[in-house]
Amino acid sequence: MATYAQELADFVCKLQLKDVPEEIRRLARLSTLDSIGVILAGHQTESARIAVNLVRSYGGAPDSTIFGYEDRVPAPAAAFANGVAAHSTELDDHIAHTRSMNHPGVVTFPAAFALAEKVGASGEQLLVSAVAGYEINSRINGAVPPGFFNFQRSFHGTAICGPFGAAATASPLFGLNPDQLANAFGICGSIAAGSFEFHSTGAWTKRFHAGWASQGGITAAELALRGFTGPFTILEGNHGFFMSYAGEGNYDLEALTRNLGKEFEFRFIMYKPFACAGVMHSPLTAALQLRRDYNIQPDQIETVTVKTSETLIRRFAAPRDRKVRPQTSVDGQFSLPYSMAVLLYFGRAFLEEYSEVTMRNPDVLDLSARVHCLSDPDIDRRWPQEEPSEVTVRLKDGSEYTAAVDFAKGSLADPMTEDELIGKFKSLAGMVLRKTATERIVDMVADLENLPDVRELIAVIRNGLANKR
């Protein structure tokens, strides 16, 4: 009887683009474009610069491009650097919270771009590899309750499931057979790592997780291709991944293969309009609605009251002193009071709003201190199947305005439109590339299935730099 790793490997190795519904292909193209923009923008952060300087110091074969740079480095090194960048802005795509708290893009596309460039893969092969990576990563993370790895076990779900997704991504590009990929999955079980403790201190390790998982999945695939073995029972074994990371009784193995090949996890992908934790997007959506509907100006605001789930209060509004006055960009990205403040102050919560300069703005911090977050029992009963929030803004003249939403902007119920995503890409990529390059990338990704060699796309990224680095 086949193990779960073997069943998943068999699915990946047989997957062809003709098996993938057009709607899933469309989402894969959108995620390709979104990921390019997010990686390019992420390379403007100090955390990504450190990763780039590290992999530059290694030397090695010039196989794959570090986005935003002219450099080519070995494929696993490029995947590492681009993976760190992809997760540095908190603008990367993610799975609907009814399924998990998973971010498959940051471990799929860094591996896919690096290997597609190395082997000269077609756009069709890139899309197949992306669908495979999202599917395996998301199914493994989706076998536990939403947020279980992150909030109950203190593992970062994207980090520990990521190597499996990256190995699945590598498989069509390396041409692994099912036994080789099952071995790679077995190896991934010993690569999987990632603590959620970054949340307590504002450290950069969450960003590292994406790069490490991307690199680790490629390493596992290359080892398996050369004959290195891993346990086929890595998922269900007595000492396997789920027993180790979830614990007995906390996972559903049947979810790994339920409707495999018939229903694709890509259908649950959501895209972010705000550069912060996705679970905070619901109250931000309500706040933005208030600001727009009533033309609320920051100097008019007396207090802001946010009603949301107890989980959000514990994780994103406490300890209050640190959340009100974030010390690092990561603190800000995971602070509900601060994110509410910048959105009400600037009318957006994008990149500059989480910069060191903005986090020292006394007016923003004063407004952050006037944001109060309360849990609501009715919201707790509905969350995360729904993500309701209620925001009340009391003005200094005594007037009050309230907005309630059931879902966030960017959710499956209120998704970002294709035009909005293209606009987001142009905004992010425009930080690094000339306008002609961004326009060309949009056109190439829209017709990705017919691109004969992904190197043509990556050449536009590399040659389109506004400033050489």
Coil, strand or helix at 259: coil
DSSP 389-445: EEEEEEETTS-EEEEEESS-TTSSSSPPPHHHHHHHHHHHHTTTB-HHHHHHHHHHH
Using a pLDDT cut of 90, give the percent of the chain over it: 96
At 385 the pLDDT is 85
* Residue 432 located in a structural domain: no
At 74 the pLDDT is 98
At 384 the pLDDT is 85
pLDDT tens column, 276-296? 999 999 999 999 999 999 999
Reported as a pLDDT band with limits 50, 70 and 90, residue 467 is confident
Answer whether residue 297 shows pLDDT above 90: yes
Residues 208 and 287 occupy one common structural domain: no
Answer whether residue 101 shows pLDDT above 90: no
At 347 the pLDDT is 97
Residues 232 and 313 occupy one common structural domain: no
Residues 213 and 145 occupy one common structural domain: yes
pLDDT tens column, 415-442? 999 999 999 999 999 999 999 999 999 9
Residues 313 and 196 occupy one common structural domain: no
| CATH number of the domain to which 240 belongs | 1.10.4100.10
Residues 251 and 352 occupy one common structural domain: no
Residues 211 and 303 occupy one common structural domain: no
Reported as a pLDDT band with limits 50, 70 and 90, residue 204 is very high
Tokens of 221: 């695939």
* Residue 420 located in a structural domain: no
* Residue 413 located in a structural domain: no
Residues 247 and 289 occupy one common structural domain: no
At 289 the pLDDT is 97
* Residue 417 located in a structural domain: no
| CATH number of the domain to which 294 belongs | 3.30.1330.120
The rounded distance, in Å, linking the Cα atoms of 158 and 237 is 21
Residues 12 and 56 occupy one common structural domain: yes
Reported as a pLDDT band with limits 50, 70 and 90, residue 383 is confident
Identify the domain boundary among 381, 405, 429.
405
Identify the domain boundary among 363, 381, 405.
405
How many domains does one find in the chain? 2
The rounded distance, in Å, linking the Cα atoms of 458 and 269 is 24
Q: Is residue 132 exposed (0-12), middle (13-18) or buried (19+ Cβ within 10 Å)?
A: buried
* Residue 458 located in a structural domain: no
* Residue 262 located in a structural domain: yes
* Residue 117 located in a structural domain: yes
Tokens of 321: 């002193």
pLDDT tens column, 228-264? 999 999 999 999 999 999 999 999 999 999 999 999 9
At 468 the pLDDT is 78
Residues 159 and 29 occupy one common structural domain: yes
* Mean pLDDT for all residues in the chain: 97
Residues 220 and 297 occupy one common structural domain: no
Reported as a pLDDT band with limits 50, 70 and 90, residue 469 is confident
Average confidence (pLDDT) over 342-348:
98
Identify the domain boundary among 247, 270, 293.
270
Average confidence (pLDDT) over 4-9:
98
What pTM, to 2 d.p., does this model score? Answer: 0.97
At 98 the pLDDT is 87
Contact present, 40 and 68 (Cβ < 8 Å): yes
Residues 175 and 126 occupy one common structural domain: yes
pLDDT tens column, 355-365? 999 999 999 99
Query: H or E segment at 64?
Result: strand 64-65
Domain limits at 317? 278-405
| List of E strands, 299-386 | 301-308, 371-375
pLDDT tens column, 48-87? 999 999 999 999 999 999 999 999 999 999 999 999 999 9
Q: Which residues lie below 8 Å from residue 391, measured CB to CB, with a gap of 6+?
A: 283, 286, 287, 290, 304, 305, 306, 307, 340, 402, 403, 404
At 1 the pLDDT is 86
* Cα three-residue angle 231-234-235, rounded to 5 degrees: 155
* Residue 434 located in a structural domain: no
At 117 the pLDDT is 98
Residues 208 and 300 occupy one common structural domain: no
